[in-house]
Amino acid sequence: MTDRQPESTAARIEPLATLPLFHKLVGRKVVLVGGSEGALWKAELLAATGAELHVFCEGKDALFAGLALSEVGGRVHVHSRAWQADDLTEAAIAVADLDDADSVRAFVAAARQAGVPVNIVDKPEHCDFAFGALVNRSPLIVAISTDGAAPVFGQAIRTRIETLLPAGLKNWAQAAADWRPAVQARELPFALRRAFWELFTGKAMAEPQRIPSLDDATELFAKLSRIEAGHDGKGRVTLVGAGPGDPELLTLKAIRALQSADIILYDDLVSPGVLELARREAKRMLVGKTGYGPSVKQGDINGLIVSLAGQGKHVVRLKGGDPGIFGRAGEEIDACHAAGIPVAIVPGISAAQGAAASLGLSLTHRDHARRLQFVTGHSRNGELPDDLDWHAMADPAASTVIYMARATLPGFRERAIAAGLDPQTPAVAMLSATRPDEKRVAATIAELPERLGELPANGPVLVLLGHAFGPALSAANATEDRRRA
């Protein structure tokens, strides 16, 4: 095994088809061309931003008369004539609802010549920007884009999000804007500023329909003062179980930890989908270990955790499965305690649980498995542990889950059978359980070690052994019989 240095390799965001931006248009010139109902809706939308809107509608001014008289939003100027190139001068953006291809090309060319970003309604190939489907809780605004491919789909997603965001959140968003100067005036360190907004968010999400008051601000600042009094400049550490790989198997507490992290130290077993749920600004560092391959020393990981937390950071140590099951969490907890750094643990769904669920089976069974045991097939020196209770391994009424079993399974088989294990006991070897690339092989324990070559060469193998997994072996045999028929 060779040493490996921590790596800052994980992208903090997947590729984007477009970059979502929120433009401040209050008092700025915006040009809209068209006389359709679609143009009217765009005019209402643009006026709501407070823009100085100029509509060129050539004989369709009656359609926009009510909007021009409205006192809501910015001023609207309706011009009953065709647009001209000079109309685009100093515009922030330009929008047109045009059908004729020559008219579209002319407008787009004029806008770009003037250096004005342009949008043509329902013609994404001519657009510099797109309008998303909006959830309006202003100043809280959510926009959904399908990059012009499926507006109806975007609207359906908007409707779903509408049901998840209570209307009263707009009042809390406004309160955040009103109270921010008071928070900034305290000149707090970053960790305490974040603490205030975490308190604020917790209160807003707990009582979203209530209109916040100055009493709420006073209560939050009082809580912050108590936190500030006990703040010693040190950060905190959260050990988080990432589960077996499927992001939907994360706990809510795990997601909250990821979204409040400053730095995430993660293992090779953590899937990209899990990392995608983390706070965007959080730094990600790979500190993984690989069996018989390059690995970051555990002592180096412990030191990195303590060092980063000592700088006042919230460090999330993200481990595949459950951090307390063969994840060396105990050593990291001890290191934090020795340094006086608070540490919390967020359990995760273990690889064993995920594998059994993926098989559609239970780890225990009233008739076949009244005991469940987890063992590692990989000791400190990379060999089969020599202190396993082999009589327990041979128990016909137990389900045994062997972690990191790829290299040592032949030796495990020999010693377990010698201790009395029935060679025909069902066993399943799994790789990447619960993930799209999951692979499995089912056989008897006598046959399974020779079948491991059917799995991809990279990645840790988990073996589930016992009569509770008999249905998986039966299903595999039936599939093989059908293939041969």
Q: What CATH number is associated with residue 245?
A: 3.40.1010.10
Residue 343 in any domain: the answer is yes
Cα distances (Å, whole numbers) of residue 422 to 147, 364, 451:
59, 18, 18
pLDDT exceeds cutoff 90 at 140:
yes
Mean pLDDT value across the chain: 90
Which residues contact residue 167 at a Cβ distance below 8 angstroms, ignoring those fewer than 6 apart?
Answer: 137, 209
Report pLDDT digits (tens) over 349-382.
999 999 999 999 999 999 999 999 999 998 877 7
Report pLDDT digits (tens) over 206-215.
899 999 999 9
388-415 burial by CB neighbour count: b if 16+ within 10 A, else e?
A: beeeebbbeebbbbbbbbbbbbeebbeb
The residues pairing with 55 across neighbouring beta strands, listed in sequence order, are 32, 78
Residue 96 in any domain: the answer is yes
The span from the CA of 420 to the CA of 415, in Å, is: 9
Residue 119 in any domain: the answer is yes
Report pLDDT digits (tens) over 8-37.
666 677 788 889 999 999 999 999 999 999
Give how many domains the chain has, as a whole number. 4
pLDDT of 10 = 61
pLDDT exceeds cutoff 90 at 74:
no
Residue 243 in any domain: the answer is yes
Which residue among the candidates 29, 42, 203, 289 is catalytic per the annotation?
289
CATH number at residue 73: 3.40.50.720
Residues 437 and 374 in one domain: yes
The span from the CA of 195 to the CA of 190, in Å, is: 9
Residue 105 in any domain: the answer is yes
Contacts 24+ apart (CB under 8 A), 132-136: 132/20, 133/157, 133/158, 134/45, 134/158, 135/161, 135/162, 135/165
Which residues contact residue 122 at a Cβ distance below 8 angstroms, ignoring those fewer than 6 apart?
Answer: 38, 97
pLDDT of 8 = 63
Spatial contact of 419 and 390, defined as CB atoms under 8 Å apart: yes
Residues 327 and 313 in one domain: yes
Residues 380 and 471 in one domain: yes
Task: Report residue 122 as tokens.
Answer: 């329902």
The amino acid that residue 236 corresponds to is R
Residues 257 and 334 in one domain: yes
Cα distances (Å, whole numbers) of residue 307 to 118, 194, 315, 335:
49, 20, 10, 11
Residue 145 in any domain: the answer is no
Q: How confident is the model at residue 285 (pLDDT cuts 50, 70, 90)?
A: very high
Residues 327 and 360 in one domain: no
Q: Can you give the residue range of the structural domain that contains 196?
A: 168-230
Is 289 tagged catalytic?
Answer: yes
Which residues contact residue 401 at a Cβ distance below 8 angstroms, ignoring those fewer than 6 apart?
Answer: 352, 355, 363, 372, 373, 374, 375, 462, 463, 464, 465
The span from the CA of 463 to the CA of 441, in Å, is: 9
- Mean pLDDT over 340-353 rounds to 95
Residues 476 and 382 in one domain: yes
**Look-up of token digits 């004729």:** 100
Residues 103 and 35 in one domain: yes
CB atoms within 10 A of CB 451: 15
Residues 36 and 117 in one domain: yes
Task: Report residue 409 as tokens.
Answer: 């399974």
The span from the CA of 224 to the CA of 186, in Å, is: 11
Q: How confident is the model at residue 410 (pLDDT cuts 50, 70, 90)?
A: very high
The amino acid that residue 295 corresponds to is S
The residues pairing with 3 across neighbouring beta strands, listed in sequence order, are 295
- Mean pLDDT over 262-288 rounds to 91
Which residue among the candidates 97, 216, 267, 395 is catalytic per the annotation?
267
The amino acid that residue 297 corresponds to is K
Residue 155 in any domain: the answer is no
The residues pairing with 444 across neighbouring beta strands, listed in sequence order, are 426
Mark which of 76, 108, 131 sits at the end of a domain: 131
Enter the pTM of the model.
Answer: 0.70
**Look-up of token digits 């305690």:** 337
Q: Rounded to the nearest 5 degrees, what angle is found at the Cα of 300, between the Cα atoms of 296 and 303? A: 150
Q: What is the side-by-side order of every strand in the sheet holding 314-319?
A: 283-286, 263-266, 314-319, 236-241, 343-346
CATH number at residue 434: 3.30.950.10
How would you classify the pairing of strands 283-286 and 263-266? parallel
CB atoms within 10 A of CB 368: 17
The span from the CA of 441 to the CA of 434, in Å, is: 15
Among residues 108, 74, 79, 73, which one has the least CA distance to residue 94? 108
The residues pairing with 133 across neighbouring beta strands, listed in sequence order, are 144
* Cα pseudo-dihedral 350, 354, 360, 365, rounded to 10: -10
Mark which of 203, 230, 257 sits at the end of a domain: 230
Residues 478 and 386 in one domain: yes
Report pLDDT digits (tens) over 415-470.
999 999 999 999 999 999 999 999 999 999 999 999 999 999 888 899 999 999 99
How would you classify the pairing of strands 439-444 and 426-431? antiparallel
Mark which of 301, 323, 349 sits at the end of a domain: 349
Q: How confident is the model at residue 224 (pLDDT cuts 50, 70, 90)?
A: confident
Residues 180 and 273 in one domain: no
Residues 246 and 199 in one domain: no
Residues 220 and 295 in one domain: no
Residue 23 in any domain: the answer is no
Spatial contact of 465 and 427, defined as CB atoms under 8 Å apart: yes
Spatial contact of 47 and 74, defined as CB atoms under 8 Å apart: yes
